[in-house]
Amino acid sequence: MGRKLARESAMKLLFQMEINNDFSSESIDIFLNNNEFSNDEKEYIINTIKDITEKLDIIDSNIEKYALGWKINRIPRVDLSVLRIAIYEILFRSDIPVEVSINEAIDISKKYSTNESSKFINGLLGSVARDGNDLSD
């Protein structure tokens, strides 16, 4: 499965960390030890989660900027996890095409959330992509 599985697994881990309010390396280790991944998948998950937690203020400020009428603490945690990964990829991963990040986020949200969530995520990520890297510096 590769990157698709790794992205979905990163979302699950980020969701778990958010729910437990535990963004420690130990949480990552436990997750990886309880699931089977290829080396490439593990590398993506570890790097993504660590980068997101380091850049959380920038990522969340983008969510707040574009989630018109929504406070970040009111966004469902699954949707928030999906948004964080996609925004991280859009702003900080030039090796991943923006369209791929958005399409994967929509697919994941359709699988784990609602149709309304996928529309919200699509609109928000489209705005982030249009504005570019304004807030990534």
d(CA 3, CA 71): 30
Alpha helix (H) residue ranges in the chain: 3-20, 25-33, 39-54, 56-66, 77-92, 98-112, 115-131
Encode pLDDT of 86-123 as tens digits: 999 999 999 999 999 999 999 999 999 988 899 999 99
Which residue ranges form the domains of the chain, and what is each CATH number? 3-131 (1.10.940.10)
Here the tokens at position 103 are: 């399409």
> pTM for the whole thing?
0.92
- Using 50, 70 and 90 to split pLDDT, how confident is the model at 3? confident
Encode pLDDT of 31-86 as tens digits: 999 999 999 999 999 999 999 999 999 999 999 999 988 899 999 999 999 999 99
Place of tokens 């996928």: 118
Q: What DSSP letter does each residue of 39-51 carry, written as one string?
A: HHHHHHHHHHHHH
